[in-house]
Amino acid sequence: MTQQTILKLGTRRSPLALAQAEETRARLCALHGWDSNRIELVPVLASGDKVTDRPLADVGGKALWTKELDEWLAQGSIHAAVHSLKDVETIRPQSLVIAAVLPRADKRDRLVFRQAQDERGLDALPHGATVGTSAPRRAAQLLNLRPDCRVVTFRGNVATRLGKLTAGEADATFLAAAGLSRLGQDTVGVALETDDWLPAPAQGAIAVECRADDAQTRELLAVLDHAPSRAEVMAERALLAALGGGCNSPIGVVCNHVDGALAMRAALFSPAGQERVEGAALFAADHASGPQKLAEDLLGRATSGITALFTGPTGG
Q: Give the active site residues.
A: 87
| Cβ count within 10 A of residue 39 | 23
Smallest Cα–Cα separation from 153: which of 166, 145, 144, 138? 138
Q: Are 277 and 265 contacting, i.e. CB atoms less than 8 angstroms apart? A: no
Give the Cα separation of 271 and 59 in Å (integer). Answer: 18
Q: Are 111 and 189 contacting, i.e. CB atoms less than 8 angstroms apart? A: yes
Smallest Cα–Cα separation from 221: which of 3, 5, 7? 7
Residues in a beta bridge with 269? 276
Give the Cα separation of 6 and 217 in Å (integer). Answer: 9
Question: In angstroms, how far apart are the furthest CA atoms of the chain?
Answer: 66
Give the Cα separation of 74 and 31 in Å (integer). Answer: 27
Q: Which residues contact 59 (CB under 8 A, 6 or more apart)?
A: 48, 51
